[in-house]
Amino acid sequence: MKSRLFKVFNTTAILFFISISFVNGQITSSSASGRNNTRTQEVEQSQARFNQITNDAGKYFKQALVSLQDNRRSSAREDFDKSVEVFLLSGVNVQSNQKLRECYSQLTETIYRMEFPSKQQPNIRSLSATCGWNIDNKLADDITKLVQPAQSNPANNNALTASNTGGNQSDALMQVGFTEQKFEASPLDELAKLELTTEEQQVETNPVAQQQYQYAVYAVSNKSLGFSFQVHPMIQQFVNYYQGRGRSTMETGLYRSGMFMRMARRIFREEGIPENVAWLGQVESAWKPSALSWAAASGLWQFIPGTGARYGLRRTAYVDERNSFEKATRASAQYLKFLANRYSGNWELAMAAYNSGEGNVDRAIRRAGVANFWVAYPYLPRETRNYVPNILATILIANNPQQYGFGHVRPAPQLMYDQIRVPPSTNLSLLAQASDTSTEYLRYLNPELRTNMSPPEPYIIRVPAGKANEVVALFKKLPAVNRNMASVTKTAVGETWQNISNRTGVPVEQLQAANSGANAPRGKIVVPNSNVKKIVYSRPTNAPISMPQTSGVRVVKAKSGDTVAKIAAREGVSAVELAKYNGLLPTSNLSTGREIKIPSR
């Protein structure tokens, strides 16, 4: 099970067992020849159906290869999905026919090898021969070369460290996975172009601005901010900007700061950095972990690849730790500490170097003849000239929002989560099921992940707060089954193993074996999938699928846009009772394919 393509839904097992009459139907006739003719026709019809399935799957697979060759990875992902869906939605028992079984098995394995390249390359030619698809050998070979993993050698590593944009190595790394990371524009890109208006530049002739300027002088002189800097009129000019046309930007930043600032203060304090310097994160990213600048700087603290590598932030096919919450915050504090020491405790110069690099600041100091930011100011890049007074203005406002007209902004609650160490290559879909959340929310909590799977090594993953013990308890059962063939389901009060077997298509003995031999199911349980030996794909349809009737409980699947109340109306039950029965609210929005248990009437 890998990324969105590899989610296993309980319908998969059922699909393998329905409509098997193509090959095993019982024929009743008084004539032996009639029986033979009927069987012959049945076999021919079955064979035609099997051929149609493989041909349709092949069309989608070849379309996906062309899209992948053109680097249209989202389109490729959709067509790869469709090629697998042809089998799953056919109503045919794939295991009953050797050609179907082998074609399906090789198809899922080949797509996996293309999505997550490794030393074991995809064998598209072999797949084509098995399924009878007649794929052009050159196309097959080109795709195989395209998805080869980037070579890990000293030369490549040095190139990555030295490059501000990542270069070819970056391009190669981004080819892993059909599910792209989602990024937001960094506020630094706009900052570089920002020009203050004449009105914003007025300090001496503006009584309010002059009063605030004197307040800043007082705050710095009594060391209430935790560090010293030279108060300059340009700092007040940025205060003026934020009180005018930049107000919404400041309001958004102050709000979002609540999610991360407590963590940032703690880590900066542990590293010996003044806590208020952590407000640098607001100017860098507006507290968006997915912020990405034109220069390929990424994360809350906007590390470029080379600087991130200097401070231990790994960048592989599976993770980009520049987007991590804790690791990137600590790396930022350590880098700022290095810069502060380099410039003898001058925080303006340290901040300037954080933005434009030590080389630019050193050259500006040499030209100015003195290690003073405001003297070196004309010799610094334009973005850096804006950057430092912007941060200092943000620090002043954040420390006394009422004074500057932002007292109405209530910071967001701190982002809460638990951290657990998961086994190598753990599918986020499985983790989401185990922690009662969605894959999308896990990606939000773990923005350093580049795919819907953890790295091929034990790795610490964030899960919703309060769910760690529950997830760990469930994962203790998983060594007994293949993690990439398992899913998780909730049980209702009174359900038996036979009930669950009926709705999942998994034999009772396998369910019990996967759940430590428990006599009765309770809470969340592991559902192994033993019908396909390698990788199982499944996607929900838009229509709700009624599951088999069980003793005391019935299960339906939500369609797109469903809420608990909508399903209750369709099923003729109380929305309040249905919500309570499933641990939800009547207004809860349901993801497509979500199982909802309905008590039998």
**Which one of the listed residues 284, 348, 495, 595 is annotated catalytic?**
284
Concerning whether 184 is annotated as a catalytic residue, the answer is no
Identify whether the C-beta of residue 170 lies closer than 8 Å to the C-beta of residue 97: no
Identify whether the C-beta of residue 455 lies closer than 8 Å to the C-beta of residue 428: no
Residue whose token pair is 């059962």:
477
Q: Round to whole Å and give the CA distance between 56 and 54.
A: 6
Kindly report the length of the chain. Answer: 601
Q: How many CB atoms lie within 10 A of CB 513?
A: 15
Q: How are the residues of the chain apportioned to helix, strand and coil, as percentages rounded to the nearest 5? A: 55, 10, 40
CA dihedral 413, 414, 416, 421 (to 10 degrees): 160
The CA distances from residue 429 to 242, 250, 451, 471, in Å, are 42, 36, 11, 13
Q: How many whole angstroms from its chain centre is CA 27?
A: 52
Q: Following DSSP, what letter does each residue of 406-443 receive, concatenated?
A: -TTPPPPPP--EEEEEE-TT-BHHHHHHHTTS-HHHHH
134: left (phi over 0), alpha (psi -120 to 50) or beta: left
Q: Round to whole Å and give the CA distance between 241 and 202.
A: 11
Pairing of strands 291-292, 417-422: unpaired
Residue 96, both tokens: 């009953």
Residue 177's nearest CA partner among 87, 249, 76 is 76
550 DSSP assignment? B
Q: Which residues pair with 487 in a beta bridge?
A: 527
Query: What residues act catalytically?
Result: 284
